[in-house]
Amino acid sequence: MLHDSEDTEEIIERVAALDIGKAELVACVRVPNPNSPGRRAQEITTYSTMTRSLLGLGERLRELGVSRVVMEATSDYWKPVFYILEAQGLDPWLVNAKDVKHLPGRPKTDRLDAVWLAKIAERQMIRPSFVPPPRIRLLRDLTRYRVDLIKARTAEKNRVEKLLEDAQIKLSAVVSDIFGISGREMLAALLAGERDPAVLAQLARSRMRAKIPVLEQAFVGRFTDHHAFLLRTMLARIDETSADIAAVETRIEELIVPFAQAVSQLDEITGVGITAAHVVIAEIGIDMSRFPTAAHLCSWARFAPGVKESAGKNKGRGTTGHGNPYLARVLGEAAVAASRTDTFLGERYRRIARRRGKKKAIVAVGRSILVIIWHLLSDPDTRYHDLGSDFYDHRIGPDRKKRNHIRQLEALGYKVTLQPAA
């Protein structure tokens, strides 16, 4: 029996597709043919990616009445093209290269790629990727750069630890953070020429002073002028990077002011702090109309299991794929932080970790946090309310738990008779 399909074939009358390279791009414009009703006319032109040439491209597209411009996400070359066309009032779409893969067996050139992209775009066979508005893009640049700076500083700290090991200074075996106040004073004394282990150990502060006898043993080594030169250079890089991180964080706090309410809402979620809230807003924005439901947001972020079915069998179900790495990182950190709390999310993590393992529990709790984020950002008046760590106990009533336990015992071969306790 035939049923009506929800799909409707609708041709976009005036569409343009861009195949973008580093130095030039190929633009294919398809519009109705004025001389042959029902047929299409197309124009294929090559433009330089210099700003003046891109402005000319925008003027030409407006002259032809193009209503949609589609381009592939090719490295970072798409960004100046997208931003200029967006500023000129056009409707640029950024699409995933995997969604517009060329048919096998056909020749491949820049011109043919542009024509192919235009043809599938006019039939609405592709979906646009999420590109945040300009203010969110500025915030995203800063939050991502902060992550890169932190990685660079961590790498330099690891080099310092390896250098001390090479000098037989076992400070990291005694001190959890060799870059704390006590650790930095000890490293500064080493650079100043102090080599006496007893003197270096006396620089310990507060609770670390209980470790002075062990610290004296840790500083027995062969710290030479060569090590001092490298250590001085490494510490300078660490301090410089720390100053850069502080400057970036100051700039982030300036740009986040218009989104203070959203930050306050997200900060209430278990495991999500101010810094994590900044990253979430920078990656997904605050306009949830781009994601019709929370499931759409989870699917975009790849926090949803993929579906791959063939011959009635599910293949590869459970894998999420690769999504936004910056968003995945902060959701994973939030999930780990929530796992240590006596809350609903903490109990959810522990229940899943017992059955499926810690990695799957982190992904599941990260998805739950993302669903919460969608609901909070969809309604500015919504506030986060924790369901409590005993939510599952209350949700599964005593009668249901009793039936489950009886069924399990009977499956093991026992005959169960219940008698109420006194």
Which pLDDT score is estimated for 9?
Answer: 53
**Mean pLDDT, residues 43-57:** 91
Residues β-bridged to residue 363: none
In the predicted structure, residue 104 carries a pLDDT above the cut 80:
no
- CA dist 55 → 47, 81, 95, 277 (Å): 10, 9, 22, 37
Q: Which segment of 65-79, 129-143, 327-341, 392-406 scores lowest on mean pLDDT?
A: 392-406
Q: Enumerate residues 6+ apart whose C-beta is below 8 A from 8.
A: none
Could you tell me how many residues make up the chain?
A: 422
Which pLDDT score is estimated for 275?
Answer: 94
Which pLDDT score is estimated for 317?
Answer: 57
Q: How far apart are the first and last CA of the chain?
A: 63
For the chain, the structural domain boundaries read 15-122, 136-255, 259-378
Q: Is 76 exposed, middle or buried (0-12, 13-18, 19+ CB in 10 A)?
A: exposed
Which tens digit of pLDDT belongs to each residue from 162-201?
Answer: 999 999 999 989 988 999 999 999 999 999 999 999 999 9
Q: In which region does residue 168 sit, left (phi positive, over 0), alpha (psi from -120 to 50) or beta (all else)?
A: left
Q: How many CB atoms lie within 10 A of CB 82?
A: 20
User: For tokens 């009886």, what's the residue?
Assistant: 406
CATH T-level fold of 15-122: Nucleotidyltransferase; domain 5 (3.30.420)
Q: Are 114 and 27 in contact (CB under 8 A)?
A: yes
Determine the Cα–Cα distance for residues 51 and 25; give it in Å rounded to an integer.
Answer: 12
Q: Which has the higher per-residue pLDDT, 81 or 319?
A: 81
Which tens digit of pLDDT belongs to each residue from 336-364?
Answer: 999 999 999 999 999 999 988 999 999 99
In the predicted structure, residue 307 carries a pLDDT above the cut 90:
no
Which pTM does this prediction carry? 0.82
Determine the Cα–Cα distance for residues 267 and 287; give it in Å rounded to an integer.
Answer: 18
